[in-house]
Structure 1
Amino acid sequence: MQISRRALLSLVPAATLSAVAPSAVARPRHARAADHAEVLDNAVAVLAGTADSNARPEVAAKLAAIGSTARARLTALDGAGPGELFRGLPLGTSDTNLTTSFQYLYEIALATRVPGGEAPGPGDDTAVQRRVIDGLARLHDDYYGDQSKGYYGNWFNWEIGISSQLTRTLVLLRDELAAYRPDLTATCVASMDAYLRNGKGGDVDLDSRFHTGANLADITTNRILQGAVLGDDARIEKAVADQLTVLATIDPYQLRHDVTDGFYADGSFLQHASVAYTGSYGKGLLTRVVQTIKILEGTGYAEGEDLVGTVRDWVVRGFAPLVFEGWMMEIVKGRGVSRTTTGYTDVAEVVEAVVDLSAYAAEPDATALKGYVKYVRQASRAALDPARFVSPVSVARYADILADPGITAKDLNPAERNVAFNAMDKTVHRRPGYAFALARSSPRISKYEYMNGENLMPWFQGDGAHYLYLSGQDQTQAYGVDYFTTVSPYRLAGVTAPVETRRTVPELYGGLWYDNPERGFTSSSESQNTYVYFPRGAGGLSGGACLGAYGAAGLVQADDVAYAAQQAGTLPDDFVAYRNARATKSWFMLDDEIVVLAAGVCDPAGRAVTTTVDTRVALPSDAIALTGRLRDGTPWSGTGTAPLAWLRYADAGQGTAVGYAFLEGRRPTVALDVVTRSRRAVRLSNPDTMVTKQVFSVSFEQPAGAPPAAMAYALVPNASERQLMSYARGPVSVLVNTARVQAVRHRGLGLVAANAFVHGSHRAGPLSIDGPASVILREGRRGTVSMAVADPTTERDTVSVVIGGRALRAVTADDGVRVDRVRGGTRIRVNTRHAYGRSFTATLAGQHRAEG
């Protein structure tokens, strides 16, 4: 179910967002009090479990983890030195240490509320709870309560991080707080309101760029719980109404409050206005909204809203395509790609949310969600540890799903699938045996995300970088933090980059950001976001078409907005921005191969340019075999530059192989090096752990000053040598490869796919395309033709394509598609206005004789 933001907010009167909700007035006092108690009981059950859940043997490890963590925190509390509440966390200048101190108090408090759990320390639970309350009072009085001294460092800690830990602690200890320090709860909530400085009047402001998406869900969840402990019905009603706005599907043509953060109709998710972020903030939003469903259960606060149906759609359209054998894909993790937590850990959070969602969904959705949980567990190369779930109740539900013989493990993805996430410039192509993930950028979408010393060398991650995941492989050995640690940022798979050396933000400016308050550059300022943290691309085309399980994507590579602004003289003189290389690229995603075309590859500054066909990493102990054939048929192996017809990379250690068929272009260069580097090279807060990998790459090298070049090749997952030999005779042929139009034909599939990048009419095999446009045409049985057309610019009102030859009529066609007979063929005219890059499809057949 998709709820438009416009429709949803029309149900919430403006007055409701700043005053007591009408329903709060209408309900009797006893009903409101019962709802408050239900919210608090539900929240405690989510965090600490119930007597029934905690009696389950499968939950024992989770309870043990809660207890051991609390005991460690009490030891740190006992060992604190001057200026510390916990040993090793000096307070007064570090917002991170203050947030962590509140977290430690919460973790101690949690252990005292776990039914069936062990006492976390000496004495009874009441004594331990009073130590926590004393700690809260000290943190508040000495380091938090005076707002004139606070709000240093990262805004997130003050508005969300501290409030999340503190609010949950107030919920857990509400009874003891009432008996021991009855004033402290209201005092702490008042301070949390005061720190909501990006809000309005101590509350959420839906017009604030800080109160969107996952951040809004975090803030409003905290405020729901605060309202419950205070008995403040108006606060709860307002927080629920605010959180419901995140369920609205973003309509880019009718934005509310100028918000672009959230889920789009094609399953894309954005945070920070322009960052593709399903795998980080997106999973945070999923988790938080599912928790809201759980804490509001049995109350009247969300009656009539299909929260479950909306979130179920997020899972199916937004998350499932991005999870491959239990691994969250790199293309939607922003700066999180540099963290040591793995894609398997990311998916564990999603699985917990799906487990809980399945308990509230109606059939057949509940069974499908449970089947997906079981499928992820079976397909993943990493054993999911339910002890890492937030809730003991979720652990018990997970065990029930795995043990239920009536639940069949089943992916929510079909085996063959192409997903065009055009709203976030990403594409996922799935087949049995592999998944291909592509990252693009545009004036709408950021090239990368750097922030807070994370993802230090991200410059080309949105310039057509790809990730080819192979079935059966432990993806921690293929991607994750060690891939970005050991692979040169200039030689990420799929990237065209100038040969130069760039410096990281800390190296350039001696800090975590560019600091120039007089010109508007402070931490998290709009200028910082636009030009430093997540600059958008300056190219005008990024998108593609999808026809069933086949896809086409195109990208015009250009500079980012920081370089464009620097050249225009609108940035300070000491601001550093880097110029990019140029290329026009297409990816045609088929069954056995992904065909890549590049044209106009050059550098406007005359530098040498590297176009990396692929880069893969392997353990130092893995046996890597590199074999191939030259264009004259001579066998070839090893490394170096050669006129290769094809190359096969085989990793015996992982049992994987990838083939590369070179269709046109200069001689590729093959390299295999051993690289050792610290994980701190990509993230300042990573442990200084040295990583050693074999790094394989195959690339096209252009010398400085070389004229624009073109190249075409196919990536062939799991290829055998015999399969690669067949590319000399087909099945793929390049129809045209220029900076204006690129197209291929696959003889076996009866398919032609093309991208036209500039205005005007362009020929591509049987097609005449009114560009810019993306088109896929496939011959079917009994003379039928199926086709897909898309506007990759997202800005055109109409796109037309002429299929040369016989007259065709429409058998089926999407709304907005018109089919006409013209001289020399059949014209398909598509109304692409406000389609935001989505594909329009039609099935055509030969006209009857009577139709002329």
Structure 2
Amino acid sequence: MDITRRRLLSALSAAGLLAVIPALPVSAAEAAADSARLLANTVGIFAGTTESNARPETAAKLTAIDRTARTNLKSMDDAGEGELFAGLVLGTDDANLNTAFKRLYEIALATRTPGTPSDLYGDTAVQRRVIDGLGWLHERYYGDQSKGYYGNWFNWEIGISQHVSKTLALLVDEVRTYKPGLITTYVASMDAYLRNGTDGDVNLDSRFHTGANLADITTNRILQGALIGAGGEARIRKALTDQLTVFVTIDPYRLNHGVTDGYYADGSFIQHASVAYTGSYGKGLLTRVVQTLKILDGTGFAHGEELVPTVQRWVRDGFAPLIFEGWMMEIVKGRAVSRPDGGYVDVAVVVEAVVDLSSLSTGADATALKSYVKHIRSTSRAALDPTGFVSPVSIVRYADIIGDASVPPADLNPASRSVAFNAMDKNVHRRPGYAFALARSSDRISKYEYMSGENLMPWFQGDGAYYLYLSGQDQTQAYGVDYFTTVSPYGLAGVTAPVELRRTVPELYGKPYYDNPGHPLNFTSSSESQNKYVYFPRGTNQHSGGAVLGAYGAVGAVQSSDAAFHDRELLPDDFVVHRNATATKSWFLLDEEIVVLAAGVGDGAGRAVTTTVDARTAAPDDQVSVTGELRDGRPWTGAGTGDLRWLRYANATRRTSVGYVFLDTPKVRVALDKVTRSRRVVRTANPDTAVTRTVLGVTVDGAAGARPVSLAYALVPNAGEAGLRSYRGGQPLKVLANTVRLQAVSHAGLGLTAANSFTAGHHEAAGMRIEGPASVLVRRERRGPTTVAVSDPTMDRDRVGVLLRGRSLRVVTADEGVRVSRVHGGTRIDVDTHHAYGRSFTVTLRG
């Protein structure tokens, strides 16, 4: 069962987490046995076992371990005066110091990995060389804490400790023989570097000790507890108590230690207080907690029965919607969108965790997880390479799942699914043949994440940017780092942006952050002001969210400037702020179409504005074409600006297409260009690799000083020309309203009416009256029931009222918090949205 907030907090307020963590061993012998088992499990995870490594599936992994270790040893052989590894300069660069510790771990790993050549496996001389390296680094660059802790806090509190703890776990027997004091020396130093903690331990009130970071820190401390021997069980127990807090579903109205990082009831995951991060930190947390469960297996600290169901829910509700044919969607990757490793590599990390989770699960749960692994493998357009798995044992488990004919491939998602991740301002809409992902922002959720020279041009990624993934396509040719490299940051699909040239943070300030420690806001590399105004600024709009009715969705958002522009009078004179364009937008998520409405599209500063209907990329040799029809019925081909009724983009090489139906839109500009840029334009650490893509841009332009305009169009995935011609005369789609107060559409074929209201007062649309800001979907089935879904996109209302005009209807089923009453002229629905955090409420009615 899941750990409930009430249960966990009550345990925390008692004498430790006795209800979740079994009692401490009653004897020193049992404590020693548990520590020995814990360390043996750790070695088994990272080095594999004799049985696992004898399997042919692990051969490539063993070769990679061996090759890396020999490369590192050669670098040690070639090191000059004052170097541990040749060319790796230490003393001022924390990343280099972290790399040095990582290389020592990689050598140690080869000496403990069964199946590697005998001149490494079990070689005491090599192990002692690693131990000497640890001593050398401690003596010169790590042991003096007054000289350490420069650069990135993560390396000092997490990264280095992770490499050291695992290295000591691998070599524990030899360390105790050769340099018995090294363990206690390093543990004391690792405690001293935990500066965002309290007295060398975790501080649950620290913004640095949350979510994935907390899982990393506590896993390190679990290993350290096993290493130090007598008394270590108390350290393990405390680390587990701290780590268990990451399993608690975040309740935004009753925060524990003020922490907003973690998993939410709707499947959202947040890190850095306000960044949607399932695809980066979220997968890191998933990996770490599953590893911890494996590390503790068979010890007195094992607690898998309590926690495994919670992790299963993370996979089902948090990860599965965001993985399309083996690709992790861009909307939840933060600054990682600028890294060369693409969505397929991200998903391989998740697959390893799911493989291991299935081994900790039983019955139908285990089968569902195994089937999902098979589903990802069978649908991914890139071969999943298990050589990249951390554990050889996981490689074997993966092979066994793939080879098990009794396990059918099966997605954890239904074929049609619409998910509102309102807690992190994101939406995913899935149908056979495509998936649509939408990135929103608000005063709760960041517009983007920039940090450390990564994601250099992120400015509009949370302003309604969307990604339309087409089935059967290699997504590295459509999205990933090359999409952000070759598509203009002002012309991302779905974005309304002012026409202006912005400069990156390094261009503005000459370094990867804004530095002004003397200002009252104290701008340093990791300060809260840096986070708020530079790294991941939030928007200033409250309205961002929507409702889901079955597999359909209605989403609305009011575009805003960010926190820096809002607080510009408080900021230093040389701090550069940006004013955003204005727009009120809705996205109605149907079967064959995604309908987009935008009103109030303009700019309060009088600048020209562009709205990008879509931006698609293709390999330069792909056969792509654009065809269309003008409103007067004449055919349209080529590029330029036209009064279009519809447009079709086709990639014959990939056998994909997208249609665009312009329901009520000004003239559209279409461009199809070859673009070549270096990947370094989006991330300073990227190789200076030039990439070329054919880029489609479908854009609506607004002149400087022009009055705000409205737009209404539909994206039609996998569309043919005949199908696009059928959208005439308001059938099957009809725009009912498109203003800054109300946006609504109907779809005759689905019997669906969907509306977003944005302002106070009453809003009328198609026999429906909505009171105040809300998202509402109504589906009337012929000779069947009427179903209604309602949500509060502001997350601030106590009640939302909707009146359905016509004959009175009676309740068939209703969610808790929904009250239905028959009134003169129709049926009134009142929904208690107090503390619902954007959740949808559904009611089914009949005449």
TM-score (ref. length: structure 2):
0.98
- Give the superposition deviation at 1:304: 7.6
- Give the superposition deviation at 1:12: 2.3
Alignment of 1:522-541 (within 5 A): 522-541=524-543
The 8 Å contact of residues 375 and 409 in structure 2, kept in 1 or not, is answered as yes
The 8 Å contact of residues 24 and 233 in structure 1, kept in 2 or not, is answered as no
3-state SS, counterpart of residue 758 of structure 2: strand
- Give the superposition deviation at 1:95: 0.2
Q: Distance in 2 between matches of 1:56 and 1:418?
A: 41
The 8 Å contact of residues 659 and 716 in structure 2, kept in 1 or not, is answered as yes
Is 1:261 matched with 2:261? yes
Q: 1:22 to 1:168 in 2, by over 3 A?
A: closer
Alignment of 1:23-38 (within 5 A): 27-38=26-37
2:286 matched to which residue of 1?
286
Q: Distance in 2 between matches of 1:304 and 1:320?
A: 22
1:56 matched to which residue of 2?
55
The amino acid that maps onto 1:829 is D
Q: Distance in 2 between matches of 1:784 and 1:15?
A: 53
Q: Distance in 1 between matches of 2:3 and 2:461?
A: 32
Q: Distance in 2 between matches of 1:800 and 1:22?
A: 46
- Give the superposition deviation at 1:556: 0.1
Q: Distance in 1 between matches of 2:508 and 2:248?
A: 40
- Give the superposition deviation at 1:508: 0.6
Out of 191, 195, 198, the position equivalent to 1:197 is: 195
Q: 1:426 to 1:23 in 2, by over 3 A?
A: closer
The 8 Å contact of residues 628 and 636 in structure 1, kept in 2 or not, is answered as yes
2:335 matched to which residue of 1?
335
3-state SS, counterpart of residue 320 of structure 2: helix
3-state SS, counterpart of residue 759 of structure 1: coil
Q: Distance in 1 between matches of 2:119 and 2:168?
A: 18
Q: Distance in 2 between matches of 1:491 and 1:76?
A: 45
1:153 matched to which residue of 2?
151
The amino acid that maps onto 2:783 is R
2:551 matched to which residue of 1?
549
Structure 1 segments (4+ residues) deviating >4 Å: 14-17, 21-26
Q: Distance in 2 between matches of 1:120 and 1:334?
A: 43
The amino acid that maps onto 2:70 is R
Q: Percent identity?
A: 68
Alignment of 1:374-523 (within 5 A): 374-519=374-519, 520-523=522-525
The 8 Å contact of residues 24 and 237 in structure 1, kept in 2 or not, is answered as no
The 8 Å contact of residues 673 and 696 in structure 1, kept in 2 or not, is answered as yes
2:691 matched to which residue of 1?
691
Is 1:325 matched with 2:309? no
Q: Distance in 2 between matches of 1:303 and 1:832?
A: 36
TM-score (ref. length: structure 1):
0.97
The 8 Å contact of residues 3 and 306 in structure 2, kept in 1 or not, is answered as no
The 8 Å contact of residues 21 and 301 in structure 2, kept in 1 or not, is answered as no
Q: Distance in 1 between matches of 2:468 and 2:81?
A: 52
1:144 matched to which residue of 2?
142
Is 1:117 matched with 2:116? yes
The 8 Å contact of residues 276 and 445 in structure 1, kept in 2 or not, is answered as yes
Alignment of 1:754-769 (within 5 A): 754-769=755-770
- Give the superposition deviation at 1:5: 3.7
The 8 Å contact of residues 492 and 615 in structure 1, kept in 2 or not, is answered as yes
Deviation per CA, 1:411-435, whole angstroms, max 9, x where unpaired?
A: 0000000000000000000000000
- Runs (5+) with no aligned partner, structure 2: none
- Give the superposition deviation at 1:540: 1.7
The amino acid that maps onto 2:461 is Q
CA RMSD of aligned residues (A): 1.4
Q: 1:281 to 1:124 in 2, by over 3 A?
A: closer
The 8 Å contact of residues 554 and 588 in structure 2, kept in 1 or not, is answered as yes
2:165 matched to which residue of 1?
167
- Give the superposition deviation at 1:799: 0.1
2:40 matched to which residue of 1?
41
Deviates more, 1:516-525 or 1:147-156: 516-525
The amino acid that maps onto 1:828 is I
2:92 matched to which residue of 1?
93
Deviation per CA, 1:461-492, whole angstroms, max 9, x where unpaired?
A: 00000000000000000000000000000000
1:705 matched to which residue of 2?
705
3-state SS, counterpart of residue 352 of structure 2: helix
Q: Distance in 2 between matches of 1:63 and 1:319?
A: 30
1:230 matched to which residue of 2?
228
The 8 Å contact of residues 436 and 469 in structure 1, kept in 2 or not, is answered as yes
How many corresponding residue pairs? 841
The amino acid that maps onto 2:115 is G
Q: Distance in 1 between matches of 2:765 and 2:124?
A: 77
The amino acid that maps onto 1:793 is T
Q: Distance in 2 between matches of 1:523 and 1:70?
A: 34
The amino acid that maps onto 1:227 is G
The 8 Å contact of residues 67 and 120 in structure 1, kept in 2 or not, is answered as no
2:565 matched to which residue of 1?
563
- Give the superposition deviation at 1:672: 0.8
- Give the superposition deviation at 1:25: 6.0
Q: Distance in 2 between matches of 1:757 and 1:254?
A: 27
Alignment of 1:593-742 (within 5 A): 593-729=593-729, 730-742=731-743
Q: Distance in 1 between matches of 2:429 and 2:395?
A: 32
3-state SS, counterpart of residue 11 of structure 1: helix
Q: Distance in 1 between matches of 2:793 and 2:21?
A: 46
Q: 1:132 to 1:415 in 2, by over 3 A?
A: same
Q: Distance in 1 between matches of 2:744 and 2:636?
A: 30
- Give the superposition deviation at 1:22: 10
3-state SS, counterpart of residue 748 of structure 1: coil
The 8 Å contact of residues 22 and 302 in structure 2, kept in 1 or not, is answered as no
The amino acid that maps onto 2:487 is V
The 8 Å contact of residues 808 and 822 in structure 2, kept in 1 or not, is answered as yes
Q: 1:806 to 1:120 in 2, by over 3 A?
A: farther
3-state SS, counterpart of residue 265 of structure 2: coil
Is 1:819 matched with 2:820? yes
- Give the superposition deviation at 1:783: 4.0
- Give the superposition deviation at 1:674: 1.0
1:849 matched to which residue of 2?
none
Q: Distance in 2 between matches of 1:629 and 1:439?
A: 30
The amino acid that maps onto 1:798 is R
The 8 Å contact of residues 67 and 119 in structure 1, kept in 2 or not, is answered as no
- Give the superposition deviation at 1:120: 5.7
The 8 Å contact of residues 293 and 303 in structure 2, kept in 1 or not, is answered as no
